[in-house]
Amino acid sequence: MAPTTRTGTADVVVRTTAGLFLVGGGAAALLAVDVVRSGDPRGGMLLAVAVAAALTGTVLLVVRPHIPRRTLGATLLVGAATLGVGTALAPTPTLALASASLAMLLGVESTLFLRRRDAWAVVGFASAWQVVPLLVVHDLPVLVCASYVALWCGVAGVVGVLGQHASTAGVDALTGLPDRRAWDAALEQAIDRHERRGMPLSLVLLDLDHFKRVNDEHGHAVGDELLRGAADAWRGLDVPGMVLGRRGGDEFAVLLPGRTGEEAVTLADRLCAAAPTAASCGVAEHAEGETAAEVLRRTDAALYAAKAAGRGRTVLSERQPHRLVDDLAAALAARALHVELQPVVDLASGAVTGVEALARWDHPRLGRVPPADFVTAAEDGGLIDDLGAAVLALACADGRVLETAWGRQVLLGVNVSGHELVGQGYADRVLRVLQDAGRPADRLVLEVTESVVEASGPAAQRALTTLREHGVRIAIDDFGTGFSSLSRLDELPADLLKLDRAFLTTLTTSPRRQVLVRELLHLCEELDIVVVAEGVETAEQASLLQELGCRAAQGYRFAPPQPVAELARVPWGHLVPPSGSAPPPRA
């Protein structure tokens, strides 16, 4: 196996070795005392050896150094030789057999912590060093010695089998690191110690950047080798107390007892630098009273933020849970949130073809809370699934009001958080809300940014693909901001593309930007992707977009986000843009 020992960490090896030295030294001391009482001068030498063994065990427990495999094997060989000398010095056959029995401890540790070949080499050496003095010095029968050898080998073999089975429980088969269950158990224990002793505790979650691409382009064998390389690199770092585990896929987790969040960020940067490929890290320091699930959610949110911000970086979560979480939970329970709708307009006819539902929360003390704030609170507090389901249900109800007022179908757009998208059972939850609301799936548009899909990985792709198979349409929101790759249009499960308002700021003054928009519109038409221009605020922008071939737009030029009751009063759902180019103030 790749790790230093067959099972356990270096600390476990040291503690086990120390315990066996203490047990063996104690047993040998009792035998030596009996020899001393009989007046035999050899008792003093036996007692000295026993005390030395016990002291060695005590020192190991106090210092707990890292024991390399070769050092452990050499230590066991020395122990076997020492026991052989003790057996030879024993004044009676009975004491010789008692001394020889201690060799069983060496066999147990060998089969637990050494490779199979090395373990049986130690067992064979220890057996020979005991059998020779028993036969030659004490003249014991061959069958008696053979029975002792059979006993040593049998016990060592059984313990080795049990150790092998124990080593696979809680250990990731690919990397040899603790798996998700074992690492989570270590986290629970660390939180308990943290709360009892008042010591800081920090967590790090690491993802290998673009790991899916490695699997897709080079095969899973190369991906597995990359995971093993990362595990070996991080395992080789000298970080006292670090508990490194693999939680699944390309996500690794690190537990750092006694480290503050700032110290953990420094260590996370070391981990990233040691990785065989670029990696992203999320860091969180455990806050008093937090459960394991809560601090993991914050760490995961920080990791998600690192990936969404461009990957290859480390993000530290806020130490205290978001103050709005409790208030938001109460608001969701009381159904105190609502949505406002901003129309999507057909540029040729002025008809409203769809609406984008925007969540709103009027806090009883703070007033209107910006969506970015309460969405972050929902992500930090584990409420994002409840928030998403509530907003979707509200939007479906408002969509039904509009369709009743206008007598025709209207597409309903709802934004999706990245954390919500990768949540367990997201696609099923959306379909269930649609069924409860009686809304056909093909009249729902889920709006998700390209960076969210990229950061969320395969889980997001699977959820979106599943929903599209049921008729739900997918819109890539905020296209044109940050990194937007045209090649991604072929990969993303998209039906609509929404050009960000920042992409339109220089549209009327930049011929180059007009060429880009025209070619993008042509490309999307060939791919059967509908383009919606967001943030249209002037008549000049609207006219130029129509000339370039854009068919749909939304923005303050047509209407701001508004309650459904106001929008339903628009006759037949046809908007006539107001005169002038100045938009009303933004909310």
Render 166-191 in DSSP notation, one character per residue.
HHHTTB-TTT-SB-HHHHHHHHHHHH
Average pLDDT over residues 37-46: 73
Predicted pLDDT at 19: 74
Of all residues in the chain, the percent with pLDDT exceeding 90 is: 31
- At 312-358, the pLDDT tens digits run 888 888 755 556 888 999 999 999 999 999 999 999 988 999 999 99
Tokens 């928009």, located at residue: 517
Question: Would you say residue 382 has pLDDT above 50?
Answer: yes
pLDDT reported for residue 505: 78
So what's the pLDDT on residue 356? Answer: 96
Which pLDDT does position 32 carry in this prediction? 73
Using the predicted structure, report yes or no on whether residue 565 has a pLDDT greater than 90.
yes
Q: How do residues 257-301 score in pLDDT, each as one tens digit?
A: 988 888 999 999 999 889 999 999 999 998 877 788 888 888 888
**Res 167: pLDDT:** 54
Q: What are the residues facing 447 on neighbouring strands?
A: 415, 475
The maximal CA–CA distance of the chain, rounded, in angstroms, is: 117
Task: Using the predicted structure, report yes or no on whether residue 8 has a pLDDT greater than 70.
Answer: no
pTM above 0.75, yes or no: no
164 pLDDT above the threshold of 70: no
| pLDDT range class, residue 6, cuts 50, 70, 90 | very low
How confident is the model at residue 501, as a pLDDT? Answer: 83
Query: In the predicted model, what is the mean pLDDT of residues 518-523?
Result: 89
DSSP state of 321: P
pLDDT of 498 over the 50 cut: yes
DSSP 86: H
Q: What is the pLDDT of residue 328?
A: 92
- Which of the residue ranges 164-178, 331-345, 428-442, 525-539 would you say has the lowest mean pLDDT? 164-178
Locate CATH 3.20.20.450 in the chain. 325-570
Q: Is the pLDDT of residue 456 over 70?
A: no
Q: State the fold for domain 325-570.
A: TIM Barrel (3.20.20)
- Residue 65: its pLDDT value, please? 53
Least confident of 46-55, 105-114, 130-139, 570-579: 570-579
Region of poorest pLDDT, from 30-44, 183-197, 490-504: 30-44
Distance CA 354, CA 371 (A): 21
Reported as type and span, the H/E element at residue 299 is helix 292-308
Residue 526 has pLDDT above 90, yes or no: no
Q: What are the angstrom distances between the C-alpha of 548 and each of 353, 357, 532, 534, 577?
A: 20, 27, 13, 15, 19
In angstroms, the CA 585 to CA 547 distance is 27
| Least confident interval from 78-87, 130-139, 365-374 | 78-87
* DSSP for residue 443: G
pLDDT tens figures, 404-437? 999 999 999 999 988 888 777 899 999 999 999 9
State yes or no: pLDDT of 584 exceeds 90. Answer: no
Strand partners, 204: 254, 283
Higher-pLDDT residue of 363 and 573 is: 363
Higher pLDDT, 302 or 5: 302
The alpha carbon torsion through 195, 196, 202, 206 (nearest 10 deg) reads -90
Query: What is the distance between the alpha carbons of residues 212 and 491, in angstroms, rounded to a whole number?
Result: 13
Query: Is residue 5 scored above 70 in pLDDT?
Result: no
Read off the DSSP letter of residue 92: S
Identity at 582, one-letter amino acid code: A
Higher pLDDT, 235 or 94: 235
Q: What percent of the chain has pLDDT over 70?
A: 86
Instruction: Tell me how far apart the alpha carbons of residues 572 and 568 are, in angstroms, rounded to a whole number.
Output: 9
Q: Give yes or no for a contact between 24 and 78, defined as CB atoms under 8 angstroms apart.
A: no
Q: What is the pLDDT of residue 169?
A: 59
Q: Greater confidence, 545 or 500? A: 545
Crossing angle (nearest 10°) for helices 116-136 and 103-113: 170
Residue 72: what pLDDT? 67
Q: How many whole angstroms separate alpha carbon 561 and alpha carbon 183?
A: 46
Whether residue 455 is predicted with pLDDT greater than 70 in this model: the reply is: no
Instruction: Please check the confidence at residue 30 and state whether its pLDDT lies above 90.
Output: no
The C-alpha atoms of residue 538 and residue 526 are separated, in whole angstroms, by: 28
Residue 75 backbone phi and psi in degrees, to 5:
-60, -40
Coil, helix or strand for 423? Answer: coil
418-427, 438-447, 468-477: segment of lowest average pLDDT: 418-427
Average the pLDDT over each of 88-92, 103-107, 119-123, 577-581 and give the range with the smallest value. 577-581
Return the higher-pLDDT residue of 429 and 169: 429
Average pLDDT for 122-139: 84
Both tokens of 576, joined, read 């006539």
The better pLDDT of the pair 122, 374 is held by 374
SS3 content of the chain, % helix, strand, coil (to 5): 55, 15, 30
- Look up the CATH architecture of domain 180-316: 2-Layer Sandwich (3.30)
Task: Work out the average pLDDT over 184-209.
Answer: 87
The per-residue pLDDT for range 93-116, each reduced to its tens digit, is 877 777 777 777 777 777 767 777
What's the whole-number average pLDDT of the chain? 82
Where do the CATH 3.30.70.270 domains begin and end in the chain? 180-316
> Residues 204-219: what's their mean pLDDT?
87
